[in-house]
Amino acid sequence: MLFQVYLRRGLVYVPTTAMREGGAYTAIEPVAVVPVTKADEIHRSLLDAIARKNITVPVPKGKWPAPVLLKYADAKTWADFARDASTWYIQDRSGEYQIGGYRMNQKGYWEEDPNQKNDFPPGTTLDTVLDHMVAILQETAGQS
């Protein structure tokens, strides 16, 4: 399973992460929006999103809807949102966790950043992984 988290302008966005029938991940409702200073609330929001799992949703027919995060971030377009956002994922592969970050490609899309991968040893608890994710978010916010 894979879960996404975004940081933009001091707010953390934790959407429910679904999988499209074609295999791509997408953010859907509900979305938690938490100030980056509220570590316990971020942790709880991540736990809640993970508990909802990656449901499978159909690929939209016709015109795709706007990304769900836009209305929470009061952004008009995805490019507007992405311009000053950072994003990460938490992946669970049978109890072995990885946190990975993305960077903006020169062509304007996010790509995995090999310098932001954190693999956790087998047996690491989910709470430990989420605490690490919260620390990354707070450290990144302090650098912006």
Domain boundaries, the chain: 2-143
* Banded model confidence at residue 143, pLDDT cuts 50, 70, 90: low
Is the per-residue pLDDT at 144 higher than 60?
Answer: no
Q: Which tokens is 48 given?
A: 């809640």
**117 or 63, greater pLDDT:** 117
CA distances, 11 to each of 6, 64, 68, 84, 124 (Å):
8, 26, 15, 11, 27
The dotted CATH code for 2-143 is 3.40.1590.10
pLDDT mean over 68-96: 95
DSSP 101-113: EEEE-TTSSEEEE
Identify the pLDDT of residue 78: 92
Decide: 142 and 36 in contact? Cβ < 8 Å.
no
DSSP state of 55: -
